[in-house]
A = this chain, B = another copy of it.
């Protein structure tokens, strides 16, 4: 399989994620095959654009979570493979659209699709993938799963609009920021983890537990990502340190530094993030302000809170290798910060 997952950060999270990868490997191969087959189209640009991004790696954490939570609820059918592929398509569509909105040049260490085929193609292939995602969901035939994933699609779009509205606003509050990442990141994690139990006809409480696991894991995951953007290595990120900074993105390390800083410091944040006037040495200065106010450390600390909630959510399930693997995946997400 040309598109099988390669982890960029073998060293840091090895122990954490390997069990999940191992336990879902057989099903993930079917998901990957499904992904390849469903990007096929007579319009050759579609598979080209889609596969550019799809074949570039990425953890495929979301579809893996759909498979894992279905297995956790003893699912015995076939629907989980298509639902997992749908989840990955929804994610890929979001990335394609995001890069257009953010005017990003790079994605997963390669040129962003929009740099090769243009913005229009990125937007339209994103729409195509969303359409394919819905087709696969319909094929599975679970109205509840359809409801969950279509609701997620609209919540994600809402989160992106919210982020657009909050963009460059250095006065964004932590609650507003949390609402944005709940929408743009955590909702898909939540939906990915909820549809598995739902097609497995798990109890309401078990489905809610998996949803809660995904939601809180998603928040923790995004918080750590945001912290890494100011302190990680390019290898850990699949993008460059300081990308958020250069794009004027308001993430928690900025929210905390801005609120904890004095007027001179706020002037700095306004100049670079609000006015987009970024000069040499500004990233280093931003990092030193973050260190001064413990902003990175506290972002990771906040992530730990959601990580704990994610783990407690799964408490309802009896001990099993899959439960342990999901538990470890939480640690993996947070441990990337080290």
Contact = CB atoms under 8 A, between A and B. Distances in A.
Interface of A: 169, 171, 173-176, 203, 205, 208-209, 211-212, 215-216, 255-256, 258-260, 298, 302, 305, 308-309, 312-316
Contact of A209 (B173, B216, B305): B173
A176 B174 CA distance: 21
24 contacts: A169-B205, A171-B203, A171-B209, A173-B205, A173-B209, A173-B212, A174-B212, A174-B309, A174-B312, A174-B313, A175-B211, A175-B212, A175-B215, A175-B216, A175-B313, A176-B208, A176-B212, A256-B312, A256-B315, A259-B312, A259-B315, A302-B308, A302-B309, A305-B305
A211 B179 CA distance: 14
Contact of A173 (B208, B255, B260, B298): B208
Contact of A315 (B203, B258, B314): B258
A305 B208 CA distance: 23
Contacts of A312: 174, 255-256, 259-260
Nearest to A258: B315
Contact of A175 (B175, B205, B255, B309): B309
Contact of A313 (B173, B205, B216, B302): B173
Contacts of A205: 169, 171, 173
A328 to B, nearest CB: 17
Contacts of A256: 312, 315
A316 B175 CA distance: 14
A259 B210 CA distance: 13
Nearest to A309: B174
A212 B315 CA distance: 30
Contact of A302 (B176, B305, B314, B315): B305
A78 to B, nearest CB: 29
Contacts of A169: 205
A87 to B, nearest CB: 20
A114 to B, nearest CB: 33
A207 to B, nearest CB: 10
Contact of A298 (B203, B308, B314): B308
Contacts of A215: 175
